[in-house]
């Protein structure tokens, strides 16, 4: 029996399994995916060890295994949590979308100013946290004192085809303050909920209180 014959036979006998694998990876490529979050830049919303569900059809539909757009399905909105493959950071990042194209964004002592209007904040669960209001999205942000925090920047205008993103853990996040605006083509999808969470500091035991927690 030749190698070609053996391979053909293997494909024929396992075609159902192989088709399922292909569909699974195609679905993760174009429709929905889940990502493990390794850092705390989005605390307290997302913590290390969370595995989050990402809707990859939230903004556009792509040909599986490529970045070729088939059709646009929506627009990123202020307050969304987006997943993107950052060329400048050479990494996949998860951040809060703060500025859409045309927005004028500034920060003064960790208070955002969007289009000339100061964003509203309320006291949170503890002294380090506050509730931030971005349009209709209310979410928690965290302010931990660090040396040389980038808690101020002059007004910038978000260019067309780009977005400004920040981590909810404001003083401990590498985001647009470090890497600049995010091109729309780099955004892979919108994070919706925590599927599973494992605590690396406690023998990777599950944090059951975080399972299926909505993010938006």
Going along the chain, which residue ranges are E strands?
32-36, 50-55, 60-62, 69-72, 81-86, 91-99, 104-108, 111-114, 117-118, 120-123, 129-134, 137-142, 153-157, 162-166, 182-183, 187-199, 205-206, 213-214
Residue 199 CA to residue 49 CA, distance in Å, equals: 6
Contact criterion met (CB below 8 Å) for 119 and 110: no
Peptide bond into 141 cis (omega under 30): no
Query: Sign of torsion, CA 41 47 51 54?
Result: negative
* Cα separations in angstroms, 62 against 28, 58, 203: 11, 11, 38
3-state secondary structure of 20: helix
Distance CA 148, CA 69 (A): 41
As a whole number of angstroms, the distance between CA 14 and CA 35 comes to 29
Cα separation of 30 and 197, whole Å?
Answer: 24
Q: Which residues have a catalytic role annotated?
A: 41, 95
């Amino acid at each position: 029996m030749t190698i070609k014959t053996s391979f053909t036979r293997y494909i024929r006998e396992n075609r159902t399994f192989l088709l399922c694998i292909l569909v699974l990876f195609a679905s993760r490529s174009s429709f929905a995916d889940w990502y493990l979050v390794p850092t705390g830049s989005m605390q307290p919303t997302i913590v290390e060890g969370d595995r989050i569900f990402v809707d990859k059809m939230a903004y556009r539909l792509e040909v599986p295994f490529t970045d070729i757009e088939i059709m646009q399905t929506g627009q990123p909105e202020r307050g969304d949590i987006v997943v993107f493959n950052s060329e400048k950071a050479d990494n996949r990042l998860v951040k809060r979308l703060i500025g859409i194209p045309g927005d004028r964004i500034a920060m003064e002592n960790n208070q955002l100013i969007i289009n000339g209007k100061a964003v509203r904040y309320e006291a949170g669960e503890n002294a380090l946290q506050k509730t931030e209001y971005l349009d209709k999205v209310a979410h928690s942000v965290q302010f931990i004192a660090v040396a040389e925090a980038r808690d101020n920047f002059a007004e910038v205008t978000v260019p067309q085809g780009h977005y400004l993103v920040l981590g909810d853990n404001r003083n401990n996040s590498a985001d647009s303050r470090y890497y600049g605006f995010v091109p729309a083509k780099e955004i892979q999808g919108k994070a919706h909920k925590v599927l599973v969470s494992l605590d690396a500091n406690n023998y990777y035991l599950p944090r059951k209180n975080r399972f299926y927690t909505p993010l938006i």
